Structure 1
């Protein structure tokens, strides 16, 4: 397992825990990082984990809006919390991490869904992200064209809709 894969998993863990405990994810990651300096039993926090957690937290409305725009017959609130965290990390990477090829962000998210979530989650995550990959360049371009104060608000509503209805789970329980 590569360093970036571990960093993504840890970011998903922090986002999941922060949501479950109603904590700020950046504060949680910072506290764990500080704790790891004094406690050998606490693993150090990778810099990329911090980048992911901070990026998702600072752009949560935008990330959630992009995800929500591609959930057919679902809402973000209905998704399992772990799937929300996985999708948030992947979408942040798709929209912001220029050094991560889209296929890598999607593959890593699918792998995390296999490891951490339900049997239906990998295909669901893949379907949602497959649609988002199609609009990510336009969302990035729209964000770059806006003043910095408005960039976090850019969503897929600001670009042409090129999605289809294939990204939904096999069952809608």
Structure 2
């Protein structure tokens, strides 16, 4: 008679659920030197673009002044230049930042429960499949034992009739 004890689901065989923080912190997040070089090149490139934009703004303002034949005093030119530098520092309006954060919060609030529920469904279905396999093997074992029992009863009946 075969032993079906080894088919039972053990604790080590179960798939363990991991919460979000465990998933985030167990991943290896190493940045290679190539990535750092790429970031440095990107920063340099973005600085060059900003400088070019500032120069183009100053040039367009200068051309507008020449076209209008307006002669500005040195103090006025310095004020205009300071305003251009202030505007080109990359300040983002508070409304835009708050809108982006609100949008991100809405998207997270919409999709985090969906992801959580799908993960729970996945893990539960995996356990159900394993339990179904155990049930099938136990049903097969039960049929085998019933057949052996019938054989033993039949042998006992024939043995009693022989006497």
Shorter-chain TM-score: which interval?
Answer: under 0.3
Task: Work out which of the two has the higher radius of gyration on C-alpha atoms and give 1 or 2.
Answer: 2
The structure where helix makes up a greater share of residues is 2
After TM superposition, the score normalised by the length of structure 2 is: 0.19
What TM-score do you get using the length of structure 1 for normalisation?
0.18
Q: Which has the higher contact order (CA 8 A, sep 6+)?
A: 2
